[in-house]
Amino acid sequence: MGIFYLKKLKVVWVFFGLALFIILNSTATAQDNQEIANQLIQVADEIYSNTQAYNQARDAYVQVLDFDPDNLKANYMAGYLFLQTIQKERATPYLLNVYSIDPEFTFDLTYLIGRGYQFGLDFDNAIDFFNRYIELYNSEPSYDGADKISLELANQRIEECERGKEMVASPLNYNITNVGSMINSEWPDYGPSVNRDESVLVFTSRRQEGNINSNVFDDNFPYEDIFISYKQNGQWSRAENISPRINTLYFESSLAISDDGKVLYIYVDENGGDVYVSNKQNSGQWTRPETIGGGINTANKETSVSLSPDGKVIFFASNRDGSMGGLDIYYSIRDKRGYWTEIHNIGPPVNTELNDDFPFIDYDGKTLYFSSEGHNGMGGYDIYKTVYDSAERKWITPVNIGYPINTPDNDISFITTLDGRKGYFSSVKEDGFGYQDIYMFTIPEEIRKITEEEPEIVKKEEPDKKAIRLLLHVKDESGNPIDATVQVRNNDQSFLAGISKIVTGEYVALLRNENPTNVTISAERDGYLFHNESVTIPAMAEEEQVREFNLRLRKLETGTSTVLRNVYFDFDKATLKQASYVEINKLYQMLSENSRMVIEIAGHTDNIGVKEYNYDLSYRRAKAVIDALKTKGIDPSRLKAVGYGEDRPLASTDDEREGREINRRVEFKVLNIRN
């Protein structure tokens, strides 16, 4: 089987090699762009049809559009596959291209456009396109194609958007931080779990480095393995494969680790999906996993284990016979002999007729967090909190823990720490290293206050304080308004504001910060250089405050250049700061969408040190950016690094804050766009 999947990987790389050959050959022979596009779309179709490597198929369809921007199939498939993978909000412009050319290209086109807007938090436009789909649905009641979406689901999406508008307009005060490169990789990393004193972290990764199996699965990702990290002097050690006694050549994922860090609960993809257990011996070796026993495992799927603090109750999810619908949350009680017995469905109001999964029982033994598709969320799985009322012997009505933890995408694997003030989860964010990363967050007081006595979220906001209104004007170099993907995000990435479009190129965002806050405003559009701008927003006040910003986008053409102002280095270092990855990821997206573009990354230093040393340091800084892009899959032949040392300062070097730190920078320049 390993050889089979190795061949799968080779097939994908053969297709990409063919695509690269077509592009390079086109430069040499000046073939007609339409002919090149036809060849590339065959490559994209082969990847999509013969593998499950949807990320690569998506990128291949995007590549077609460099040569034939109006290709309906390539635009549709690029948008469709963005919705199936990550960065789902990027589906919208491709699907809108289809809609502008042929609104009837597929029956579900307007529904898919609505989904793209929903994932991008543009709820008003999402509702508009969902309503257009409903009108189409009602006008053609006899249509029965495979691309027909149920009326019930379309109406559900509208309800999710209405709730999303409310939640994004009142974000909760989470502080979300990427746990860093010692844990996260450029591959998917997810499912974190920590022991009681937070000295051990286990998680699941599909990384290549350290994986037991050097081959890949048929989605072109490595297999799942379980990794472990230890906290040393307040810092996480570099994560390593937990043990070949636990991980095999195929799929293993971590579910939970015990309070003392000596018992590991594992999901094994056998018998429909079962829970296994491994114990850490005194020698430090882990035992080979064995089935958890009792009546927990069935021929159906069992997942997402969480143990009560005293170890006497286990919560898990299963779709066994008798479930209310899909996955339900169950619990089992350990008897005096140590066996799991008395298995019960936790029932309403926790379980619903849709999927309810990923339970986590807090250290107080009565607070349960879980993810659900069936409660009042803003799309996909949202995370909820409920508390057991021991007097009434029932769980209180679950409460959505709010935005920005919850989004229109799937939000899962939420755990807390002993003090109840912070926790961990996995997510795809702009400052990430690749796909899913593991993040740490603080839990705001509004959520911690939810008890059986106080079942509602208590807002801190004073009723007479008004949100700050940001008016954002996106224009091209000639001053003409143009549409773009616009975002407003805290500089610490703790929340992403909801954006509403007024007219072409005009957007509004509402911020409800109680203290002055630094935010980054960004705008992106295909064929243009992205724009990032950091500004300080005042605190809310009794009078409405309006701030206006003009965001100018320049076309990507030979000679276009800009300073990458949000790529940072420490003094005398060529190591990227974590905050740099927002900008790096935007640069990666731009290069992915413009596959014929060749760029220069120029490094610069401050004036401290020997001049020759600074030339070398500036080159290494440029190379650090290029290495990050190469890691994400950008062809090295499209990237050139140069170092200018201290020769081209942007600001005075008299002090660190205003001068030298700004001069430790990189710049981006388009060298060539291959014909």
Q: Is the pLDDT of residue 650 over 90?
A: no
Kindly provide the residue ranges of all beta strands, DSSP E only, lying in 373-516, ordered along the sequence.
382-389, 394-395, 399-400, 415-416, 422-427, 437-442, 468-475, 485-490, 499-503, 506-511
The label of the residue with tokens 């072109």 reads 220
- pLDDT digits 0-9 by tens, 380-424: 999 999 999 988 899 999 999 998 899 999 898 899 999 888 999
Model confidence band, residue 431 (pLDDT cutoffs 50, 70, 90): confident
Q: How far apart are CA 338 and CA 96, in angstroms?
A: 58
Q: Is the pLDDT of residue 18 over 70?
A: no
Domain ranges in the chain?
A: 2-169, 175-448, 461-555, 556-675
Q: Report the CATH fold assignment for 461-555.
A: Immunoglobulin-like (2.60.40)
pTM of the model: 0.84
Question: What average pLDDT does the segment 82-96 reach?
Answer: 93
Measured at the CA of 233, the angle between CA 227 and CA 235, to 5 degrees, comes to: 45
List Cβ neighbours of 112 (8 Å cut-off, separation of 6 or more): 79, 80, 83, 91, 95, 106
Number of C-beta neighbours around residue 675 at 10 A: 10
Q: Report the CATH fold assignment for 556-675.
A: 60s Ribosomal Protein L30; Chain: A; (3.30.1330)
List Cβ neighbours of 470 (8 Å cut-off, separation of 6 or more): 488, 497, 508, 509, 510, 511, 521, 537, 546, 547, 548, 549
Q: Enter the tokens of residue 108.
A: 């579900």
pLDDT score of 344: 95
List Cβ neighbours of 231 (8 Å cut-off, separation of 6 or more): 198, 199, 200, 201, 237
Model confidence band, residue 611 (pLDDT cutoffs 50, 70, 90): confident
Question: How far from the centroid of its chain's Cα atoms is residue 390's Cα?
Answer: 38
Q: Kindly write down the DSSP assignment for every residue of 583-594, as one continuous string.
A: HHHHHHHHHHH-
Q: How far is CA 346 from CA 6, 305, 350, 367, in A?
A: 43, 14, 7, 13
Tell me what percent of the residues of the chain surpass a pLDDT of 70: 91
The pLDDT mean for the chain works out to 87
Q: Is the pLDDT of residue 364 over 60?
A: yes
- List, in sequence order, every residue forming a beta bridge with 228; answer none if it has no partner: 202, 240
Model confidence band, residue 29 (pLDDT cutoffs 50, 70, 90): very low
Question: What average pLDDT does the segment 509-526 reach?
Answer: 85
Do 175-448 and 2-169 have the same topology in CATH? Answer: no
pLDDT score of 525: 86
Give, in words, the CATH class of 175-448.
mainly beta
Model confidence band, residue 9 (pLDDT cutoffs 50, 70, 90): very low
- List, in sequence order, every residue forming a beta bridge with 472; answer none if it has no partner: 507, 549
Give, in words, the CATH class of 2-169.
mainly alpha
Spatial strand order in the sheet of 561-564:
561-564, 666-673, 597-603, 639-643
- pLDDT digits 0-9 by tens, 31-70: 578 888 888 899 999 999 988 899 889 999 998 998 899 9
